Amino acid sequence: MTSAPVDPLIGQTLDDRYVVRSRIARGGMAMVYLGDDLRLGRRVAIKIMHAHLSDDENFTRRFEQEARSAAGLGHPNIVNVFDQGEAAGVPYLVMEYLPGITLRELLKQHQRLTSEQATEIAEAILSGLAAAHDAGIVHRDLKPENVLLADDGRIKIGDFGLARAVSANTTTGQALLGTIAYLSPELVTRGVADARSDVYAFGIVLFEMLTGQQPYTGEQPMQIAYQHAHSDMPLPSTVVVDVPETFDHLVRWTTHRDPDARPANAREALEFLWSVQRDGLAAATRVFPVLPDTGGITPATAVLDEASREVLARADSGSPNPHPLSATDRAQRVAQRRSRRGVLIAALLVVLLGAAGLGGWWWGQGPGSRVTVPAVEGLSITEATGLLEESTLRVTVVECSSLTIEAGRAVRTEPSEGSRVERESEVQLCESTGPELLPLPSVVGLPLEEAEQEIERQRFTVGTVREEVFDSAESGTVLRITDPDGTELPETYPEQGVIDLVLSAGPLPDLSGNTVEQATNILSTLGLNVDTGLNTSDYSDSVAEGHVISLILPDGAVRKGDTVGFHVSLGKELIEIPDVRGMSLRRAMEQLESLGLQPQTALPELLWDSAEVDRDTTPQAGTRVEPGTEVRVRASI
């Protein structure tokens, strides 16, 4: 049995920061991997584009632009983009990792959703799209595969900007990219997309959530695209009879073939949904079950070329005029749309009045009893507490460390921002204490490479390697660690704090017995300078005259580049023999011995006090001799 080939990216580290652990999904534009961010110690999702998409420099440039735009959105219903880069010339994105399932997987499990489930997901999708549209960003490829349902209840949209980057890279520059089942008529016929195209795709997704099927089917993509361009959208209630009329109106409005007859953007559709919720027509939300990861392949994003679009556009000759409307026509369309909305809302209010008890249910037990936890990251604790309390939540402040949020400001909440919770629920507000204080790594005595790895493993940052110091420790090993100012570090240090290393250059050599020239050459090879002006001379019993006794070192540690001198030997110190004539023999013997000489005489010691030195010594007085020299003393009684 042949095993499947191993993905070469698994186990690789991108930009010395992101370790690729395993593949979790694959699609028409990219592979998605689970990874670890070594710098921040967190799990991330790494989306690596297929190699063929990066052949054109225009694609890479557009991809980077779109990635930066998506990274700036920062909304609870949009997957956060943390970073972007290249791996072997192929662009990649680093995003937040959300354990859970996609909306497509939920639909596969349940076929269709209840009105309550569809309402909650629809609100999250429109909220995310509204934030993007407010920032001038169009998704262009909204579909259930790009709606993520996290295990903790969060609902987020992913893949912002990718479709636009890819469509800019097609051969003609005019090809149409998107998943056929969710393409708006203007995308099909003219390749033009704006916020209203996202609104159309949302309407299709809503239809699919309510009915369990897509509105248009066909054996070929062209057949489906043709229906988008020429057919009015069927109502969900024609498929599932118990779908509320509210959703029929919302689907029909958001999927109108004429873009000018749709909501101008997702925020307009969201405000309509909110107005319906306030009026009590949406049922209570519920928690979705967590389903196992199916690991399937997402439906590929397809491309319609220019020729296909021209066929569809010609066939649409009997459809509403695709040319831009005049200012008067647009004003009339807007007025008509507002009039229709007024009629719809009025009709809904009548239904409300006919169900007087529904409002009490909404606020007491239905969706109105739940609120969304607001985003507070970066706010002062006072501001964050006030915002949470305004949302009818009870706040408990706890401390936690943070690499990015300064001390005294809000880091996060538990439950997290965007979560739906009961009113008067308790929310923990995390107040930053700054980076976490961690015990210092034990790296003294380690080789440099091992020390750097240990410092990074313990979640610190390696700084500069300071001057090498001559020490008894082995060359290249760490003598001590300091902060960037050279100050000794305390027992604990902030996470990701910079640690500088001081290395040993090894012990200084023993130069005793070398000539000054020999010693100077040896020190020069070690990076030390010799200043003969620092030299001193001294007698030495063991070192010959003119040779080095020892080094003269600067105060403190000796580093490469420092200047040193030598203690130079004068040889052994010589002793001048004194004239001891006329002294008693005992006194003469004691004086010579005190000078380090070895006096000798023929008379026994009993006679030394009475004997007197009457002749010169041998060697004679005045002679300079080495210590320990034997001196003969003659005396008479």
In whole angstroms, what separates CA 366 from the centre of its chain? 40
Helix segments in 34-143, DSSP class H: 57-71, 103-110, 115-134
The string of DSSP letters for 352-364 reads HHT-TTHHHHHHH
Q: How far apart are CA 183 and CA 205, in angstroms?
A: 11
Specify whether 483 is catalytic: no
Structure tokens at 496: 């990701």
Q: Could you give the 3-state DSSP secondary structure of residue 565?
A: strand
Q: How far apart are CA 176 and CA 304, in angstroms?
A: 5
Q: How far apart are CA 182 and CA 555, in angstroms?
A: 78
The residue annotated as part of the active site, out of 16, 36, 56, 141, is 141
> What secondary structure, in 3-state letters, does 6-60 show?
CCCCCCCEECCCEEEEEEEEECCCEEEEEEEECCCCEEEEEEEECHHHHCCHHHH
* 442 φ, ψ (degrees, to nearest 5): -95, 100
In the block, tokens 């009915």 appear at: 211
Give the DSSP H or E segment for 330.
helix 327-353
Residue 420 exposed, middle or buried by CB count within 10 Å (0-12, 13-18, 19+): buried
Give the DSSP H or E segment for 523.
helix 516-525
Catalytic site positions = 141
